[in-house]
Amino acid sequence: MQTGSQITPDPQLTSVVETGPGQPEPSPAPTTPRKVGGGIGLWIRDLLISTGASILIITFLYQPVRVEGTSMLPRLEDRDRLFINKFVYHVTAIERGDVVVFRYPRDPEKSYIKRVIALPGDRLRIDHGRVWLNGMRMDESYVPKEYRDTKSMPEMVVPEDSYFMMGDHRSISSDSREFGPVDRSLIYGKAVFVYWPTRDAGVVR
């Protein structure tokens, strides 16, 4: 973001002079016909700049991805298209509840999308599908009752620089209950917005 932005007057705009009491009214300046071609040229220039800026934003900040699978139902469906923010975690911390994209620990060629459940140093256990974090039961409103399961896992402490991931569709999700906490270096984006299909469009929460 730039501060102290400058503006450059457009030569096609006619100057307006404000007169005060006792000052003579300035004689109107001779007008010249506007060039239609110049207006089209400026429009094309602005369009090209906007297109270039959009490409740079998508290339360096956002990346379109496609969901494959149903482990993040009900929010994300199979074949949904969404944008992930590749830059956000360079300036902000990963938080519980974030939906993130990471390289699968057992095969870095694959990418998974899951929800962050626990942070480094958290004490976590699962009792018949109920998640307990640092001695308190988590309120997981994003997991509908019909998608819960009854699996259990003994208490563990999430290692340093690692994150415990789970899918919202608990009964079918392959996640950190199976392959363990995910190292920070494997996380490369945050899911932010579904853009297709239109019925699913909206912010990812």
Task: Summarize pLDDT for 16-35 with one digit per residue, the tens.
Answer: 222 234 444 445 555 555 55
Task: Decide if 114 is catalytic.
Answer: yes
In contact, 147 and 141? CB cutoff 8 Å = no
pLDDT in tens, 61-75: 889 999 999 999 999
Burial environment of residue 181 by CB neighbours within 10 A (0 to 12, 13 to 18, 19 or more): buried
Name which of 49, 40, 182 is nearest 112 in CA terms: 182
Evaluate if pTM is beyond 0.85: no
For domain 65-203, give the CATH number: 2.10.109.10
The active-site residue out of 114, 162, 176, 190 is 114
The active-site residue out of 35, 50, 54, 71 is 71
Q: What parts of the chain have a pLDDT lower than 70? A: 1-38, 54, 56-60
pLDDT at residue 43, rounded to an integer: 86
Q: Which two tokens stand for residue 130?
A: 């109920």
pLDDT at residue 47, rounded to an integer: 84
pLDDT at residue 39, rounded to an integer: 79
pLDDT at residue 69, rounded to an integer: 95
The single residue listed with the structure tokens 């902000």 is 92
Helix residue ranges, H only, the chain: 36-60, 176-179
User: Of all residues in the chain, what percent carry a pLDDT higher than 90?
Assistant: 69
Q: How many residues does the chain have?
A: 205
pLDDT at residue 120, rounded to an integer: 98
User: Of all residues in the chain, what percent carry a pLDDT higher than 70?
Assistant: 78
Mean pLDDT over each residue of the chain, to the nearest integer: 84
Task: Decide if 50 is catalytic.
Answer: no
